[in-house]
């Protein structure tokens, strides 16, 4: 005879294994997809200041200011195993003191079902562009790249770099006046 407990136990175990199998199918059906796409980034206004960084060392560091245009369509990146895209705009550059610097200037969370057609004009950055020292003034090659981290319902967490980055240079003089 089967008691209530035994019946409940087998129903629960069966339901869990079906759920696990379906989750695995969901993961395997999307793991090999290509999530890259093209973006269009431009900088509008670029200037650099030399001011004390009170959030860190309190020494005078280079602080970059920029506004940017961003245009891309990410609608086709969403499928049944994409819960959220975490977009971030990275500035990557080299200075004499650091071989590689990466600073996230702006980010955005897009949930599935939200508008994923982006067309921003003259956007301000969300985070301060502090350098670790004085490497921004007259820096000739700063590369802006948009990337996204895909958050699935269940599965891997890939970071994807968009094609179409933008390089710009900082002015040779500090801006001393207020903006």
Partner 1 sequence: MDIATVFDDVKRMNKRQFFYQVLSFGMIVSSALMIWKGLMVVTGSESPIVVVLSGSMEPAFHRGDLLFLTNYPEEPVRVGEIVVFKVEGRDIPIVHRVLKLHEKDNSTVKFLTKGDNNSVDDRGLYAPGQLWLTKKDIVGRARGFLPYVGMVTILMNEYPKFKYAVLACLGLYVLMHRE
Structure tokens given for 7: 């019946």
179 near partner 1, judged by CB under 8 A: no
Q: Which of 54, 59, 76, 100 binds partner 1 (CB under 8 A)?
A: 100
55 near partner 1, judged by CB under 8 A: yes
116-126 per-residue burial string, b: 16 or more CB within 10 A, e: under 16: bebeeeebebe
CB of 82 or CB of 170, closer to partner 1: 82
Which whole-number Å values give the CA distances from 141 to 76, 95, 98, 136, 166, in the listed order?
A: 32, 10, 14, 10, 10
137 near partner 1, judged by CB under 8 A: no
Q: Which of 26, 46, 47, 151 binds partner 1 (CB under 8 A)?
A: 151
Sites of contact with partner 1 (CB under 8 A): 3, 23, 55-57, 83-84, 86, 88, 90, 97-104, 107, 109, 111, 127, 130, 132, 147, 149, 151-157, 159
């Amino acid at each position: 005879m089967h008691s209530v407990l035994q019946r409940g136990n087998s129903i629960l175990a069966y339901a869990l294994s079906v759920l696990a199998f379906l989750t695995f199918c969901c993961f395997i059906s999307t793991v090999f997809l290509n999530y890259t796409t093209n973006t269009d980034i431009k900088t509008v206004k670029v200037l650099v200041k030399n001011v004390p960084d009170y959030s860190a060392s309190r020494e005078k560091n280079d602080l970059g200011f920029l506004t940017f245009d961003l245009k891309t369509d990410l609608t086709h990146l969403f499928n049944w195993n994409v819960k959220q895209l975490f977009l971030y705009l990275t500035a990557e550059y080299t200075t004499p003191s650091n071989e590689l610097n990466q600073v996230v200037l702006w980010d955005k969370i897009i949930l599935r079902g939200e508008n994923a057609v982006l067309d921003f004009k003259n956007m301000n950055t969300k985070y301060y562009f502090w350098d670790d020292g004085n490497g921004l003034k007259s820096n000739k090659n700063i590369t802006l790249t948009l990337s996204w981290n895909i958050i699935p319902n269940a599965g891997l967490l890939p970071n994807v770099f968009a094609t179409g980055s933008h390089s710009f240079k900082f002015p040779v003089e500090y801006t001393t006046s207020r903006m």
